[in-house]
Amino acid sequence: MLRYTAPLVLLAAAPVSAATGVLGQVQTHLRAVETMTADFTQTDQRGKTLTGTLTLKRPGRVRFQYQKGVPLLVVGDGKALIMIDYQVAQVSRWPIGNSPLSILLDPNRDLSGIAKVLPNAPAGRILIEGRDPKHPEIGTITIGFTQAPTAPGGLMLAGWTVLDAQGNRSTLVLSNQRFNVPVSDRTFLWRDPRPRNRNR
């Protein structure tokens, strides 16, 4: 039976100025982005690669739509992240706050206590590492941005890498990013494959 890894990762890097200033710039970017769409390429630690499209609408809503033939969907509905595996008719959910992606989905979250700027990033890039010291079981996310003067806050979200508490690593790289475009709330509905299935 084929199994698929949920998309919880990010990669990139950035210029090293005062860490507080850089985190402030990242926070400004996150608060300026109400919606975003992008293509993604996701790679797990075994080297398996999947592609798809990402749609984000803050606060808390996200959809990872995988390539045709992959029976997996991940949706954030504002409160929870839901992973639907249509191959085995299974639905799993967990609070957004219990996911490393909460940094990206909650623009009002204060980054100063949970994130730090990583040094030695390539020129024109920013790399931050997020980890909640009160909840180490959530794992670590490393988020990358590139400097882009025309993007919100002067930054472009490039991707991320997530390392969970079990040591599983997944990396997601974005392309064709579009910011603050119209996104319908219906984008975040999903079909429940379980008995008595109903639309969500």
Q: Are residues 84 and 72 in contact, defined by beta-carbon separation less than 8 angstroms?
A: yes
Q: Are residues 1 and 7 in contact, defined by beta-carbon separation less than 8 angstroms?
A: no
Residues 191 and 198: their CA atoms lie apart, in Å, by 6
Phi, psi of 158 (to 5 degrees): -105, -25
Q: Is residue 24 part of a domain?
A: yes
Residues 65 and 58: their CA atoms lie apart, in Å, by 17
Q: Is residue 71 part of a domain?
A: no
Percent of the chain clearing pLDDT 70 (strictly above): 88
pLDDT tens digits for 104-114?
998 788 888 88
Domain span including residue 115: 19-55+107-181
Mean pLDDT of 41-59: 95
Phi, psi of 115 (to 5 degrees): -135, 155
Overall domain count for the chain: 1
* Average pLDDT in the chain: 86
Q: Is residue 158 part of a domain?
A: yes
Q: What is the DSSP string of the chain?
A: ---------B------S-HHHHHHHHHHHHHH-SEEEEEEEEEETT--EEEEEEEEETTTEEEEEEPTT--EEEEEESSEEEEEETTTTEEEEEEGGGSTTHHHH-TTS-GGGTEEEPSSPPTTEEEEEE--TT-GGG-EEEEEEEE-TTSGGGEEEEEEEEE-TTS-EEEEEEEEEEES----GGGG--B--SSS--B-
Q: Is residue 68 part of a domain?
A: no
Q: How many residues does the chain have?
A: 200
Q: Is residue 49 part of a domain?
A: yes
Q: CATH number, domain at 156? A: 2.50.20.10
pLDDT tens digits for 73-129?
999 999 899 999 999 999 999 888 888 888 899 878 888 888 999 988 888 999 999
Q: Is residue 151 part of a domain?
A: yes
Q: Is residue 89 part of a domain?
A: no
pLDDT tens digits for 164-198?
878 889 999 999 999 999 999 999 999 999 987 55
Residue 14's pLDDT is: 34
Q: Is residue 77 part of a domain?
A: no
